[in-house]
Structures are given as structure tokens and as C-alpha cells.
Amino acid sequence: MQNPSIVLYSAKTAKLEDKPIPSLSPHDVLVRIAYIGVCGSDVHFWQHGGIGKPINPATGIVMGHEASGTIHSIGPAVTLVQPGDRVAIEPGTPCRFCTACKSGSYNLCRGMRFAAAPGPPDTQGTLAKYFRVPQDFVYRIPEAMGLDEAVLVEPLAVAVHAVRLGDVRAGETVVVVGGGTIGVLVASVARQFGAHRVVVCDVLEGKLGFVRGWVGCETFLVDGGVGGERNAMRLLREFGLEEEGVDTVGGRVDTVIEASGAASSVEMGIHVLRPGGKYVQTGVGKAKVEVPIVALSMKELMVRGCFRYGAGDYELAVGLMKKGLIDVKPLISSVTPFEDATSAWEKTANGEGIKNLIEGVRD
């Protein structure tokens, strides 16, 4: 095969196929993929055949968007990298011409071509031997950083973006709801931004045990049998964060970054915030959730959505790893051979590990 690729056609139906090696425009590079990460969206595609837009079952789509590799070849106008450079890949290419792009918010570009996204036109993903990307969307990594670690630059950039949106400042108290990959990375980035207290919440004690060992922050075990308001009351009481002198549920938390997408977690996050607090919705769960609108309004909260990553987020993520401020190696739970990629999706679907990787095609 010239370019072995894992193609998903519908839920639970994926095949190993040969694809053409992508041709290069003047400013493009061709990356020989080393590792591909498994994320929640991959699991959703595997289980349901798409998110929003379904995959065309006649053509299928090459999966994967978290990836690292080595520059194999370059277009004639490329000046930023050379063949042999080891890189992390930013998997979305914006149009560069719309209002969002020209204002610096290219992650909001409506013409974004994101890896493994159904079209039309479809955008093929990174779960292949070779992947084409513009030269300014690859980031060189230092020799001391493994290519397996470089896969984690993508989710770390999401965490950086979320913390920036939450305007986390030195001395603040931050609650992170969700102890998965994004949640633990958000907690670690918040610490680097100077947060005084960081509390990570999850329904699974196993995840919280990892958080305590890796981030070294406080944790809160969410009771899945009660609603968000009850859990908010418990959290505030347990950590001494109750707002005094009020007869409603209210706390002294400066920023909440929700990284699970669960409806009860959204409710809990809004209730624990102080008046004027900041809320960032990073997790994507059900399309519609009930929001405690009275509490949100009376506290005059700043509420932000969070979508992928924007200008400077990848550079900062690489910098945090390069300087050893965030060590992502302990997050890597398993590495699955390329041909068995679907088993890596199943591991993640079953809640096994923190970050499961797929190894690139071997020679």
C-alpha cells in the first residue's frame, strides 16, 4: 500500500484501505504520521457514524485528528520546516479570508477544513501513513520530546484555550468539572496560570485518584444520583467555599470550566460560582440541557462557549511541554498497532485509561 488508511463507513464499520499520497501545493508539507490520539469525538463517530453530519456510507472518511509525525516532503515555497523535522500537527485549516479569520479567531471560521470531518467536501483525517497540512499548521518539537507525547499537544491546546477564555488569574479558585483528558489538562494549565486553588470533579474515583497524583490538586467525587444543585451544595461545604449571608446556593468560586458536557454538571458549575464569576463550557454532551437561568442572571455571570483552539494556543501548549511545566507522558495509557485502531476506540469508549494512542504505519 502507498498510503494505508483507516476508513470509517458507518457505525462500527471501518476498513484498512490504500489511499493516494496527497499532492502538495507550494506551501504544504507531507507528514509521515507517527502516532494518532483517540478522543471522545472518535468514539462518537465509531459508535454513531458521525456527529451532526453523518458519514457518507458510500465514500467513508479517514479518521483521526490528534497526531504527530516527521516531515516527509515539502512544497517549493515552504520555509518554516524541513524534511526530517519532528512535528505536532494542528488538524484544522481555516479559509484565512472570512471575518473570523481576519479578526484572529480562525477557530470560528465557517470554512474550516478540520481533519476527519464529513463534508461536502469531506476532509480526510490523520489515521493514515501520510497527511498533508499547510506549513504554518505544524509545530516543531524538541528532541527531548517523544512523538507519542507530541500527540497530546492537541488536547493541551484545547485546555490552554479554555483557561484563556476563563481569564484565570493568579490567586483565583477554579473548579474543573470532568476528569477526562481535557479536564486534567485544564487543571494543570490553570495551575500554570496562577490559580490558587483548583478542584477537579468527576463521578469516577479512579479518575480523581489520577488527578491527585498527576496535577496535585483537590478533587470532588460527584454523586451521580442527585442533581447539580445538591452536588454544588456539597462541594461548597466540603471545601469551605460557601457564600455567607445568602439563602440560596452560592459559592466563592471565581471560574468554572466544564469539561464533561453532562447536564447536571452545567447546573452544578453555575451554582458554585460567585457573583460576577466566569463559566466556560468546554465539554460537549447533549445538544439541549436545562440551565438554572435565574442563578445565572442574578449572579451576572460571564458565560463563554469554547471551541477547539485559536491563535497562540498551540505555541503555548508546545512551550509548556518543552519547558517541562506540564509532563504529559503519564497520561498515555496504551499504544495500539495501526491495524487494530478500532480496538483503541473501544478502549476509550469503555473508559479505559486517560489517553489511548494508535501507532502509525510501520515499514
In a domain, 146, yes or no: no
CATH code, 172: 3.40.50.720
Percentage with pLDDT > 70 across the chain: 99
Residue of 110, 116, 60 lying closest to 89 (CA atoms):
116
- Written as one letter, the residue type at 307 is F
Verify that 172 and 229 share a domain, yes or no.
yes
Percentage with pLDDT > 90 across the chain: 93
Verify that 111 and 33 share a domain, yes or no.
yes
The span from the CA of 327 to the CA of 231, in Å, is: 31
Count up the domains in the chain and report the number: 2
Structural domain for 354, as ranges: 4-140+328-359
pLDDT value at 111 more than 70: yes
In a domain, 106, yes or no: yes
pLDDT of residue 143: 94
Verify that 195 and 227 share a domain, yes or no.
yes
Non-local CB neighbours of 294 within 8 Å, separated by 6+ positions: none
Verify that 288 and 232 share a domain, yes or no.
yes
How does pLDDT run across 192-228, given as a tens digit for each residue? 999 999 999 999 999 999 999 999 999 999 999 999 9
Verify that 115 and 86 share a domain, yes or no.
yes
pLDDT of residue 247: 67
Mean pLDDT for the stretch of residues 40-60 = 93
Kindly list the distances between the CA atom of residue 253 and the CA atoms of 34, 220, 271, in Å, as whole numbers in the listed order: 41, 14, 10
How does pLDDT run across 239-292, given as a tens digit for each residue? 999 988 776 678 999 999 999 999 999 999 999 999 999 999 999 876 688 899
Verify that 81 and 112 share a domain, yes or no.
yes
CATH code, 76: 3.90.180.10
